């Protein structure tokens, strides 16, 4: 969640000034790529860099959604399927 907060703040303000939750003021979206498969769609990938580590955005997003789902369920706020 800290990684997400820093990315949101950096995207909104173009830099991290005040509260840096990851401890790395250089946390950023590092790359994105698209592979187009003629007749079969495309595959997109994005990476994040923070504290000298590289993260796959899809993996980070999956963990964030799981964390929110757990919190919502604990509060009895999850919608019915």
pTM, to two decimals: 0.66
Where exactly are the structural domains of the chain? 2-74
Closest CA to 57 of 65, 46, 66, 49: 46
pLDDT at 3: 77
- What 3 state SS string does 14-71 have? CCCCCCCCCCCCCCEEEEEEEEEECCCEEEEEEEEEECCEEEEHHHHHHHHHHHHHHH
Return d(Cα 9, Cα 16) in angstroms, integer.
7
pLDDT at 32: 86
pLDDT digits (tens, 9 = 90+) for 40-78: 888 889 898 888 999 998 899 899 889 888 889 899 887
pLDDT digits (tens, 9 = 90+) for 19-49: 777 777 777 778 888 889 888 888 889 898 8
Greater confidence (40 vs 81) lies with: 40
């Amino acid at each position: 969640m800290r990684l997400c907060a820093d990315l949101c703040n950096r995207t909104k303000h173009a830099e991290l000034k005040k509260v840096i939750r990851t401890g790395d003021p250089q946390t950023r979206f590092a790359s994105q790529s698209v592979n187009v498969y003629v007749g079969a769609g495309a595959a997109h990938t994005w990476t994040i860099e923070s504290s000298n580590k590289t993260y796959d955005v899809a993996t980070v997003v999956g963990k964030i959604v799981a964390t929110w789902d757990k919190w919502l369920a604990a509060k009895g706020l999850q919608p019915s399927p």
